[in-house]
Amino acid sequence: MYDILIANGRVVDGTGNPWTVQDVGIKDGRIVEMGQLCTAGLDNRRQGEVSTAAGVAKHVIDATGRVVAPGFIDPHVHSDLLCTKPEVHKVKVMQGVTTELFGQDGISVAPVSEVTKPLWQKQLKGLDGEIGDWPWETVLDYLRFLGHTPLNTNVAFLVPHGNVRTLVMGFADRPASPLEAQRMREIVEEAMCQGAFGVSSGLIYPPNVFAGKAELVEICRGAARYGGCFVVHIRNESNHILEALDEVIDVARQSGVRLHISHFKVGGRTNRRKVAAALRKLAAGRAEGLEITFDQYPYTAGSTMLSSILPPWVHAGGTEAMLRRLRDPASRKQIARDLHENDMYENWVRSSGWENIVVSAVASARNRYCEGKNVAEIAALRGGTPADTAFDLLLEEEANVAMVVHWGEESDIVTAMQDELQMVGSDSIFGGKPHPRLYGTYPRILGRFVRETGTLTLPQAIRKMTSAPAQLLRLQDRGLLRVGYRADVVVFDPETVADCATFDEPLRESMGILHVLVNGQPAVEFGAWTGQTWGQVLYRGETCVQTHG
């Protein structure tokens, strides 16, 4: 007897092959049979047991005219804390996401110590949200905490470079010594043994921004020793993107790690010619024998913390030191000069302009009016310069300000999206008036870029959302519809699936995602969240079996 039978759907199995009409039989959380399993019509079968070729099913999903696909695997998210609030986090499973990769950009919630934990709680509040005290220190502690928490999706974790660095040398504004880098590698290896799938870094964020190449090579050796990947927000995604790619490609070359570029883009309209050159550089690394991939969200704007517009020297010593510099008149003048003149760091003000930097979330009610407005507009309302307005807002909110940066053109997104190394990732951030990618990434791929523009075929798109990220993580039983695989499954209407969230109205739920199964259990039925949480914590090399109903 099947627990669930998905009948008469067009199965797009995640391999990139064309669809086939098959039934999918599910029992005990796994796919146990695929093929022509029905022996009767579909009328009224949801009201009772259904005869099939192999017995009976407790529940039948009629997928006639629908697409049946593996659950989507999101390789770049910031759900590390708010995954513990299912009513908030449900927006991910509602768009078909069944597995997420935490620990991104080298800045996350573990490992920490009694000394570094309050620093990270303050720094990450605007990015990851707030859930109160963190009852963990190690990666294993954190994963075990999640294992006893109701989860909408399956969870995998990367050990974040910045957390490791602060355990060894705090927020010091200097490269690591050989001994310090060695200690970092040892901590990375400990975290890999505790279940992490790789190591991440964000080379525009403190304290990662202070690291040199030798340090990156050393920590990546720790991940490579256990078959992990290096997931990296490169040092520059605009004027100096080619040099930034050279850096991380050489890190992969020297360390032997698998390289994955986070949220690939070329920011700034003056840099558009570099898109093709950047893709050629990645292909050349592949031709050399390096395993290189990248993820991408389907929008012409990005989102991160407003404090990331500041030059690296401002971040030395951590958030409190940064805020002290913003209070100092002499430092403010130098920062303002850097914002308009310094081209040696990821300077979004120079590459995109104040009018394209939009405040998306603030911590306090008094500045809620800023959400959805660009910095130039806020400056006009306040009667100050854009630079002073940004500085004052960061001070008033104790740095807990998120932004959306409009940086590019859709044709450049299409070019990268069609590359065989690309996979889909949302880089979704909760809170305030967020980037619409939080609610719309995966339906947008299926609606706009498959059905409307034909940028991708349906099998291509599904592969980029399922088996490609599963391959990155070396997941052995997810990412495909195969007998014996975990039953993470999405059923959607290919004629109506679409994103509804916009930059003006980013909290609108998508349409066309009809059913989502997580580990063989219904998380979404007929387009509505069931309120049931079936996610599991995934450990490198094995899967935790605990689930929550």
> In Å, what is the CA distance from 518 to each residue of 155, 181, 238, 489?
12, 39, 38, 7
Instruction: With residue 98 as reference, give the H or E element that holds it.
Output: strand 97-102
Query: HEC profile for 436-505?
Result: CHHHHHHHHHHHHHHHHCCCCCHHHHHHHHCHHHHHHHCCCCCCCCCCCCECCEEEECCCCCECCCCCCC
Does 548 map to a domain?
A: no
Q: Are residues 120 and 259 in the same domain?
A: yes
Q: Count other Cβ atoms within 10 Å, centred on residue 430.
A: 22
Does 190 map to a domain?
A: yes
**What pLDDT tens digit does each residue of the chain (549 aa) get?**
999 999 999 999 999 999 999 999 999 999 999 999 986 544 444 433 445 544 579 999 999 999 999 999 999 999 999 999 999 999 999 999 999 999 999 999 999 999 999 999 999 999 999 999 999 999 999 999 999 999 999 999 999 999 999 999 999 999 999 999 999 999 999 999 999 999 999 999 999 999 999 999 999 999 999 999 999 999 999 999 999 999 999 999 999 999 999 999 999 878 999 999 999 999 999 999 999 999 999 999 999 999 999 999 999 999 999 999 999 999 999 999 999 999 899 999 999 999 999 999 999 999 999 999 999 999 999 999 999 999 999 999 999 999 999 999 999 999 999 999 999 999 999 999 999 999 999 999 999 999 999 999 999 999 999 999 999 999 999 999 999 999 999 999 999 999 999 999 999 999 999 999 999 999 999 999 999 999 999 999 763 333 344
Q: Are residues 396 and 319 in the same domain?
A: yes
Q: Are residues 85 and 151 in the same domain?
A: yes
> 548: alpha, beta or left, given left = phi > 0 and alpha = psi -120 to 50?
beta
Phi, psi of 98 (to 5 degrees): -115, -15
Condensed to tens digits (0 to 9), the pLDDT of residues 272-303 reads 999 999 999 999 999 999 999 999 999 999 99
In this prediction, residue 542 carries a pLDDT of: 60
Report d(CA 166, CA 176) in Å as an integer.
11
Domain C-terminal end among 388, 406, 424: 406
Does 230 map to a domain?
A: yes
Query: Is the distance from CB of 107 to CB of 205 less than 8 angstroms?
Result: yes
Burial 512-521 (b: 16+ CB within 10 A, else e): bbbbbbbbbb
Question: pTM for the complete prediction?
Answer: 0.94
Query: Is the distance from CB of 217 to CB of 255 less than 8 angstroms?
Result: yes
Report d(CA 338, CA 324) in Å as an integer.
17
Does 395 map to a domain?
A: yes
Q: Are residues 425 and 398 in the same domain?
A: no
Q: How far is CA 390 from the centre of its chain?
A: 26
Q: Are residues 392 and 419 in the same domain?
A: no
Domain C-terminal end among 406, 440, 468: 406
Q: Are residues 343 and 371 in the same domain?
A: yes
Concatenating the DSSP letter of every residue in 395-435 gives: HHTTT-EEEEEE---HHHHHHHHTSTTEEE---B--SSS--
Number of domain units in the chain: 3
Task: CATH number of the domain at 11, please.
Answer: 2.30.40
Q: Are residues 195 and 151 in the same domain?
A: yes
Task: CATH number of the domain at 480, please.
Answer: 3.20.20.140
Does 543 map to a domain?
A: no
Q: Are residues 9 and 83 in the same domain?
A: no
Query: Is the distance from CB of 236 to CB of 268 less than 8 angstroms?
Result: no
Report d(CA 441, CA 267) in Å as an integer.
19
Query: HEC profile for 210-272?
Result: HCCHHHHHHHHHHHHCCCCEEEEECCCCCCCHHHHHHHHHHHHHHHCCEEEECCCCCCCHHHC
Q: Are residues 468 and 520 in the same domain?
A: yes
DSSP letter at 353 equals -
Domain C-terminal end among 37, 65, 93: 65
Q: Are residues 177 and 262 in the same domain?
A: yes
Phi, psi of 303 (to 5 degrees): -150, 135
Phi, psi of 178 (to 5 degrees): -55, -40
Amino acid letter at 85? K
Query: Is the distance from CB of 49 to CB of 58 less than 8 angstroms?
Result: yes
Structural domain span for residue 145: 70-300+408-538
Does 546 map to a domain?
A: no
Q: Are residues 393 and 453 in the same domain?
A: no
Question: Which one, of 160, 70, 150, lies nearest residue 536 by Cα?
Answer: 150
Q: Are residues 56 and 106 in the same domain?
A: no
Which residues, 6 or more positions from 62, have their beta carbon under 8 angstroms from its beta carbon? 7, 8, 42, 45, 46
What six digits make up the tokens of 429? 């951030």
Phi, psi of 197 (to 5 degrees): -95, -5
